[in-house]
Amino acid sequence: MITVSPQGENSIVVTPGANAEVTADFIDAHRETIRDAGIVLAQLEIPIDTVEHLASLCGAEGIPLMLDPAPAHALPLAIFRHVQWFTPNETEAAFFAAKVGEDVGELKPEKTANALLAAGAESVVLKMGSRGVYLSSANGLSQMIPAFRVTAVDTTAAGDAFNGAFATALMLGFEQQVGARFAAAAAAISVTRPGAQPSMPTRAEVDELLRAHGS
């Protein structure tokens, strides 16, 4: 059940249902598919034990793992060591920073990202809504990517749009900063439309928005 305020902000109630059937055995049954992947994108609406198993498998096989930690849930620290991209929103970022011993109070991107990097994640993308996204990595990357100014109708699945587009951009060989701007454009388009899957933009729409902004 998804409710949306007049300002476009959303609140979501999830009943896991079939997601609970995504077990470690299910992951193992599809091991060859995972081995053939260029990147694996996962979130926390499946059992945490399954996510931990998946992270270990990706680590062992050398497959990049992007983890969207939603909904926020305590994670074994071992998972972080297998995550190439950790992509929380503001609420999730504060939750996980506190879990690893850093009380960030009001979200301070650099301080929060550093806490998550110290936990073991290779790179962090903080999704900060209308303020944009903050990129940080263990190799010294630290950059704010501004959001595109649009009129929000429904923010449902904006984070999903960003993550999917960011994974796509990385697969296309884009530099991280360029990929994040590509993904921010996808998320911006998605919030101008109602719904989750129906709001996802096409590649052509993303390219058009980028061209309109001189990218």
CB 146 within 8 A of CB 182: no
CB neighbour list of residue 133: distance below 8 Å, 6 or more residues apart: 125, 126, 127, 144, 145, 147, 162, 180, 183, 184
Cα–Cα distance, 118 to 186 (Å, whole number) = 30
Alpha helices in the chain (DSSP H): 24-29, 31-35, 48-61, 77-80, 90-99, 109-118, 158-171, 176-190, 203-212
User: Tokens in use for 139?
Assistant: 């190799």
Cα–Cα distance, 215 to 68 (Å, whole number) = 26
> From the candidates 25, 68, 160, 207, which is the catalytic residue?
160
68 flagged as catalytic? no
**Parallel/antiparallel/unpaired status of strands 133-137 and 142-145:** antiparallel
Report, as residue numbers or ranges, the catalytic residues. Answer: 160
